[in-house]
Amino acid sequence: MKNYFLGLFLSVIFFNVNAQGSVVDKIVAQVGDNIILLSDIEAQKQQAKVSGVAITNNLDCEILEKMMYQQLLVNQAKLDSLIISDENVDAEMENRLRVIENQIGSREKMEEFYGKTVNEIKDEFREVIRERLLAEEMERKVTADISVTPKEVEEFFKTVPEDSIPLINAQLSFQQIVDYPEITKEDKKLAYDKLAEILSDIKGGKNFATQARIHSMDPGSASNGGTIEASRGMMVPQFEAAAFTLKEGEISDIFETNYGYHILKLNSRKGDDYVCQHILIIPEFSSEALEKSANQIDSCYQLLNQNQITWDEAVLTFSNDEGTKQNKGVITNPYTGEQTWSMEDLNQIDQEIYLLTDAMEKGDISSPNLYLNIFERKQGVRIVRLMNRTEPHKANLKDDYALIKSAAESNKKEKLINEWIASKLTNAYIRIDESFVDCEFKNKWISTY
């Protein structure tokens, strides 16, 4: 059962059905040299149940077809000599292991739960992850040239039954102009000197964890004595260099990253995994610098209100936010990559912006306010413009073109994939167990049986 749980989170088809005592495993399909086991299908069914997917009578057949499609992609990828680097495999493996680690509590608890070291887990599943990545890369290659014209989008929308048109929740879009106060050399020196004093106290006998709780400006680790559990590739290069240079128990010299100044104590390291403690001191701007930024944004606000400058001109003149300055100040939703935001996304990322714009009409601009960029941990002063707000409604081409275009592209992609499958089935070795011959597949797999 532990292997099953591990397999789910790794998105690996692995399920010890015999341990359940419910079914004898067997091969149910073969694509090229790759086999699909009955336990593979059972694992996916269990994952579907956990995810809340409705369990239909045809679910086994749907799962089998998806697996055969993946193996067909893998087979073609090998014929086309596609290569997935060890670095990509390890990075993907690490991302998936991190999900399990977060669920269980720590890397040590995960190893204890499975009775395997992290390296043993990686060795067991590395090639399966590689095949998954190969399949994804092959599919990208097959569908790389997919695009739809406005006419195709309109024609697609006309084919959607009225009762199948989705209800779209309220969507908002925003622009901003931000001025982050300048961090001077003097500000950086103050931060460096403060950390140097902390380091001196630690070397003089003060407890590292206590100093981290008192002084560290890293909100994610300070309350835990600065403790961080990580693996190679997770942290910024300077941090990682220190972690892999130190011996266990050693404390680094002061080093700088984009976040500020750090010291690091290495507690333990096993292969690519390590546990350390660190203290971060972030250079802080002076009150004079903040006042200067406030004056800048206030001047911008006044010019906009007096129509002496356009919004686009104001962004280029007054904003120093690298993430939005070259895009007319548009704030992109990091969850979707779109310019629109749902209330759920706003509540998780930028609650303040909704409070600023709740009573505003389209095109209105907020008065200057303090702003905290949670991703870069920077404070500044900004004004926000409400680009658009839509009420809950049935999807339509005018208000939801991007959404409908995406659906049209997905529909076109599915048709292309089905054509690709049909073209490959004539030359690929396919075998399907007789227990699945009555399946209603989307593609004619059974004709090659």
Tokens (6 digits) for 429: 């070795």
Residues 324 and 177 in one domain: yes
Inside any domain, residue 90:
yes
Residues 244 and 359 in one domain: no
Q: Identify the helix (H) or strand (E) that includes residue 432.
A: strand 430-432
Collapsed DSSP state (helix, strand, coil) of residue 5: helix
Inside any domain, residue 157:
no
What pLDDT does 91 receive? 82
Residue 272 structural domain: 185-281
Inside any domain, residue 163:
no
Residues 207 and 226 in one domain: yes
What pLDDT does 5 receive? 40
Residues 45 and 81 in one domain: yes
Residues 75 and 135 in one domain: yes
Residues 222 and 270 in one domain: yes
Tokens (6 digits) for 99: 């999900």
What pLDDT does 384 receive? 94
pLDDT in tens, 321-378: 988 999 999 998 877 778 888 877 777 777 788 788 888 889 999 999 998 887 777 8
Residues 275 and 296 in one domain: no
How far apart CA 287 and CA 37 sit, in angstroms, is: 66
What pLDDT does 123 receive? 83
Residues 436 and 352 in one domain: no
When the pLDDT of each residue in the chain is averaged and rounded to a whole number, the result is: 86
Q: Calculate the alpha carbon distances from 268 to 89, 99, 244, 332, 365 in Å.
A: 24, 21, 10, 39, 52
Inside any domain, residue 160:
no
Residues 37 and 178 in one domain: no
- Concatenating the DSSP letter of every residue in 349-376 gives H-HHHHHHHTTPPTT-BPPPEEEEETTT
Inside any domain, residue 195:
yes
Q: Calculate the alpha carbon distances from 154 to 165, 301, 329, 399, 408 in Å.
A: 14, 40, 30, 13, 9
Other C-beta atoms lying within 10 Å of the C-beta of residue 138:
22
The distance from CA 283 to its chain's CA centroid, rounded to whole angstroms, is 29
Residues 250 and 351 in one domain: no
pLDDT in tens, 397-425: 988 888 899 899 999 999 999 999 999 98
DSSP character at residue 164: G
Closest CA to 218 of 286, 273, 266, 264: 264
Give bridge partners of residue 373 from the DSSP assignment.
Answer: 378
pLDDT in tens, 382-395: 999 999 888 888 99
Q: Give the helix, strand, coil percentages of the chain, each rounded to 5.
A: 50, 15, 35
CATH number of 320's domain: 3.10.50.40
pLDDT in tens, 213-230: 999 998 888 988 999 988
What pLDDT does 367 receive? 93
Residues 137 and 30 in one domain: yes
How far apart CA 28 and CA 60 sit, in angstroms, is: 11
Q: Identify the helix (H) or strand (E) that includes residue 76.
A: helix 59-79
DSSP character at residue 323: T
If one counts the domains in the chain, the total is 3
In angstroms and rounded to an integer, the radius of gyration of the C-alpha atoms of the chain is: 28
- Concatenating the DSSP letter of every residue in 12-65 gives -----HHHHTS----EEEEETTEEEEHHHHHHHHHHHHHTT----TTHHHHHHH
Helix 86-104 × helix 118-143 angle, to 10°: 120
Q: Scanning the structure block, which residue is given the tokens 């106060």? A: 181
Other C-beta atoms lying within 10 Å of the C-beta of residue 419:
12
Q: Scanning the structure block, which residue is given the tokens 């303040």? A: 352
Residues 315 and 239 in one domain: no
How far apart CA 408 and CA 431 sit, in angstroms, is: 33
What pLDDT does 447 receive? 62
What pLDDT does 404 receive? 92
pLDDT beneath 70, residues of the chain: 1-24, 51, 447-449
What pLDDT does 398 receive? 87
Other C-beta atoms lying within 10 Å of the C-beta of residue 246:
18
